[in-house]
Structure 1
Amino acid sequence: MALNSINTNSGALIALQNLNQTNSELGVVQQRINTGKKVATAKDNGATWAIAKNQTAASQSLNSVKDSLQRGQSTIDVALASGDTVIDLLGKMKEKALAASDTSLNTASFKALQSDFHSLRDQIIKAVDNSKFNGVSIANGKTTKLTFLANADGDSFTVNAQTISLAGIGLTDGETFTDAAGAKGAITKIAGALQSATNKLASLGTSSAGLDAHLSFVGKLQDSLDAGVGNLVDADLAKESAKLQSLQTKQQLGVQALSIANSSTSSILSLFR
């Protein structure tokens, strides 16, 4: 038989313990709903929090890798654009040399074709000299290769430079012809330069495709890391919402139970009437 005492109310103590437990659980659920995370601090789950922080750091470091690879893409794209211009100009130079190889031309016509040839040659020099991104070129012969970040460990992705300047494709800065025979010889040289330029641009195109593929991989890797961290620390809000309503009901019942337990001692007063 339970002891009737005004000093110790066991029922009220038990009801208070249960209410405190419910309030504690309710606080946890409310925090998860507010933050969207089931593990927001090391206090929630030290091991999981540490893993999540390390993986988050790895994911964030990949932003630098992506930036580096994108700079590489831009550098190659500028070189390819310059190369397209060079090929177009070489085609026009070949056309002028072919026209100048016609022995029936008068002197004025020959001189005009020669002048056009020189102008096209000089345009190639300018196009290659200006093929820079962020002050760097892999087309003018001043750089042999460029390295970009490949992963968060600092490993590199190397792109070999391809010189498409006149010297790089077998011509000279003073390339010219002085007569029809010389113009005919220039046709052969320019044809060789065209072949060399296209081969070099094909190599740059392959490097660009490699950068694109690796950049796509890095993006997918970053997404996977972020998703993995989310699986570790994110709260299931649908589940937490249902739990919130359950705990709120439990809290109300706990308050009522505590009220009933506190009022039970008042019945002792009736013994003294």
Structure 2
Amino acid sequence: MTSIMTNAAAMAALQTLRQIDTNLEMTQRRVSSGYRVETASDNAGYWSIATTMRSDNAALSTVSDALGLGAATVDTAYTALDNVVEVMSSIKAKLVAASEPGVDKNKINEEMKQLKNQLVSSAQSASFSGENWLYNSGVNPLGVKQVVSSFVRGADGSVQVTTLDFDTADSILIDIQDSSRGFLTKAIDAYPLVENQPLPVTRRDYFLLDMGDAPVAVPPDTVNEIAIDTSTTKEQLDDMIAVVDNIIQQLTDSAATLGAITSRIEMQDNFVSNLMDVISKGVGRLVDANMNEESTRLKALQTQQQLGIQSLSIANTSAEKLLTLFQN
């Protein structure tokens, strides 16, 4: 039936054109934004997952920055400690040289004083961003230092920040408040370090640096600074050499620990970087638009839109043909 009141063909064409326009608008938005799921209305589930994972990626980016800061702090401590080991080796060599007959022990002692000053300078300079793991001027011990290593989200949605821990008791060289807390300031008994010691056991404590808090031993009068003069005996030199060698061994162990932490931080930093890339790829699979498909769909919808407009035009002009029936 043909009616001038209701144009069913035009209504059908208009409905089709509206659907085409809706699809075209959605496709154009995907092409312009690059996202298949840009808002929660596009796909609430995927949008929620993507938003959470983007937030976690931002946290991991902060972790990466913290790892960089921690690595710099550890590297600073390691570099200074490595220098201290070299200086300690020089002090040991000076003491060995002092054991030779006819040497000027006073001159050797002057050289050792300069080396000791270098030890203090190295320890004081080992500071990065206000952190110094080798020198302590505070009343309390520096304690355990933490380096942020990762951000973890549990299966139940709980979150946790994990850290790498380092006890600075294994690295403190100088403690001006409590000499017993520093490798270079504490007293060390030479008796068990020297071979073929006679009985009875007698403590012979030596310390390398006097920072104002002289080490205390039992009895106190057995504590001596590692320093020499013309009256220094061969036995005393043997004790000093043994104590210095013991300090070098402890410092070497400390440097090895810092080196292991540096290696761990580097591995963790690489892992965090790779993890961030994987998360970004996973989010992309959920919400990114396939530009090849969308561009093809856009071209098809533009063609459909033109055809729809043409169909609506034809449907609207069909009613005009009725006028010929009323003409002469």
Using the size of structure 1 for normalisation, the TM-score is 0.92
Runs of 4+ that moved beyond 3 A: 182-185
1:98-177, aligned counterparts within 5 Å?
A: 98-105=96-103, 109-140=104-135, 142-152=141-151, 153-161=160-168, 162-165=170-173, 167-168=182-183, 170=188, 171-174=207-210, 175-177=226-228
Cα distance between partner residues in 2 of 1:97 and 1:24: 89
Q: CA-to-partner distance for each residue in 1:140-185, whole Å, 9 max, x for gaps?
A: 3642321122333223321222225164155431431223524443
Q: What is the aligned length? A: 268
Q: Which has the higher strand share?
A: 2
Q: What is the alpha-carbon distance in structure 2 between the residues aligned to residue 168 and residue 98 of structure 1? A: 21
Q: What is the alpha-carbon distance in structure 2 between the residues aligned to residue 258 and residue 180 of structure 1?
A: 115
Matches within 5 A, 1:3-14: 3-14=1-12
Partner of 1:220: 274
**Structure 2 residue 320 is the aligned partner of structure 1 residue 272:** no
For the Cα contact (< 8 Å) 2:149–2:265, is it kept in 1? no
C-alpha RMSD of matched pairs (Å): 1.7
Distance 2:147 2:92 in 1: 37
Percent identity among equivalent residues? 29
Shift of 1:199: 0.9
1:64 & 1:195 partners in 2: Cα distance?
37
Question: Structure 1 stretch 126-135 or stretch 180-189: which is displaced more?
Answer: 180-189
Q: Which residues in structure 2 correspond to 1:158-197 (within 5 Å)?
A: 158-161=165-168, 162-165=170-173, 167-168=182-183, 170=188, 171-174=207-210, 175-178=226-229, 179=232, 181=234, 182-197=236-251
| Contact residue 105 and residue 228 of structure 2 kept, 8 A | no
| Structure 1 residues 3-55: Cα deviation after superposition (integer angstroms, max 9, x where no partner) | 11111111011111111111111111110010000111111111211111111
Distance in 1, matches of 2:314 and 2:251, equals: 93
Structure 2 residue runs without a partner (length 5+) = 152-159, 175-181, 189-206, 211-225
Structure 1 position 137, deviation (Å): 2.0
Q: Structure 1 stretches of 5 or more lacking a match?
A: none
Task: Trace 1:189-268 onto structure 2 (pairs within 5 A).
Answer: 189-268=243-322
SS at match of 1:168: coil
**Larger % of helix: which?**
1
Greater relative contact order, per chain length (Cα 8 Å cut-off, separation 6+): 1
Partner of 1:43: 41
Question: Tell me, what secondary structure is at the counterpart of 1:156?
Answer: strand
Q: Measure how far apart 1:67 and its partner are.
A: 2.0
